[in-house]
């Protein structure tokens, strides 16, 4: 009965999007993603370290070094969750300020999920601004930010094009866009081991450390549905960014894409 109702809803839906390996009506995705992050928020930082063996720290450090936060800038960490990237940005900008002076950088963490923001604030405010907002409709005026980063967030959004269009809208001319996201292995020979790790070890770890295998299964599946490096670079160009390029980390497990709002 429930299955038949679901099939009818799918048929009536104007547009479907991926939710892990499932296709669901587009309007259902925000609620399903919210439920995932509500469940994982308290254990989110711990699980990141466990799943990546601490590698996510190196990838985030490399992304922030490339973004090169400067004193006095307004920098957005969109889908910023617990502010893990924003803290690195703030620290980098503060070091630059010690060397060359200037005003403090304003670093804003924006995330749609209250639980993730709450978990972040429990780690300490650290001079960050925290805003509950949708990456697809940012509560910011046009051309108001110097740099924008979205780390491991865009694949959770229902409309990637809308996220990119918003990034383009809020960046000033000369503004820098960065996206850190899981991507496609550049060495296909490693895909067997990678699949085994992703589909067996990560959900088991999620169950053990966060009491939740399903949320981590979704996270792994959502990675496989996300566009590969070249296709995503093309989407960034289509959104109006220039000089688009990317760099692979860990052989393509993760990729940093960037582009300029000229």
Ligand X SMILES: C[S@@+](CC[C@H](N)C(=O)[O-])C[C@H]1O[C@@H](n2cnc3c(N)ncnc32)[C@H](O)[C@@H]1O
Instruction: Determine contact, residues 109/131, Cβ cutoff 8 Å.
Output: yes
Closer to ligand X by CB, 161 or 188: give it: 161
The torsion angle over the Cα atoms of residues 249, 23, 207 and 59, rounded to 10 degrees, is: 10
Instruction: Determine contact, residues 256/241, Cβ cutoff 8 Å.
Output: no
**Interface contacts to ligand X, rule CB under 6 A:** 33, 37, 79-81, 84-85, 111-113, 116, 134-136, 151-153, 156-157
Structure tokens at 52: 């990546």
Closer to ligand X by CB, 64 or 112: give it: 112
CB 85, min distance to ligand X, A: 5
CB 84, min distance to ligand X, A: 4
Helix crossing, 114-122 with 44-52: angle to 10°? 90
Closer to ligand X by CB, 53 or 192: give it: 53
Closer to ligand X by CB, 137 or 208: give it: 137
Cross-sheet strand order for the sheet of 74-78: 129-132, 106-111, 74-78, 145-151, 171-182, 254-261, 242-249
Closer to ligand X by CB, 97 or 114: give it: 114
Give 175-229 as a DSSP string.
EEEEEEEE---S-GGGHHHHHHIIIIIHHHHHHHHHS-HHHHHHHHHHHHHS--H
CB 86, min distance to ligand X, A: 8
Q: Which residue is nearest to ligand X (CB)?
A: 81
CB 59, min distance to ligand X, A: 9
CB 181, min distance to ligand X, A: 10
Give 110's strand partners.
78, 131
Structure tokens at 146: 């110097």
CB 33, min distance to ligand X, A: 5
How far is the C-alpha of 206 from the C-alpha of 182, rounded, in Å?
A: 18
Closer to ligand X by CB, 5 or 203: give it: 203
């Amino acid at each position: 009965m429930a299955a038949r109702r679901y099939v009818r809803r799918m048929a009536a839906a104007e547009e479907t999007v991926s939710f892990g390996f499932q296709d669901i009506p587009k309007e259902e995705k925000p609620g399903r993603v919210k439920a995932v992050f509500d469940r994982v928020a308290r254990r989110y930082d711990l699980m990141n370290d466990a799943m990546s063996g601490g590698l996510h720290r190196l990838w985030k450090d490399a992304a922030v070094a490339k973004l090169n936060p400067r004193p006095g800038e307004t920098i957005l960490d969109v889908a910023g969750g617990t502010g893990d990237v924003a803290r690195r940005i703030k620290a980098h900008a503060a070091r630059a300020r010690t060397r060359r002076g200037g005003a403090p950088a304003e670093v804003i963490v924006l995330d749609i999920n209250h639980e993730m923001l709450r978990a972040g604030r429990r780690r300490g405010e650290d001079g960050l601004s925290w805003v509950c907002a949708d990456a697809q409709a940012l509560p910011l005026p046009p051309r108001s930010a110097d740099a924008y980063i979205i780390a491991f967030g865009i694949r959770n959004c229902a409309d990637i094009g809308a996220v990119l269009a918003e990034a383009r809208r809020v960046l000033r001319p000369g503004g820098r866009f960065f996206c850190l996201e899981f991507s496609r292995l550049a060495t296909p020979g490693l895909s067997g081991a990678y699949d085994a790790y992703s589909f067996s070890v990560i959900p088991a770890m999620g169950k053990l450390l966060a009491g939740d295998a399903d949320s981590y299964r979704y996270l792994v599946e959502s990675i496989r549905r996300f566009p590969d490096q070249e296709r995503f670079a093309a989407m960034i160009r289509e959104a109006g960014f220039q000089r688009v390029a990317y760099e692979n980390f860990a052989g393509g497990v993760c990729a940093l894409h960037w582009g300029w709002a000229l």
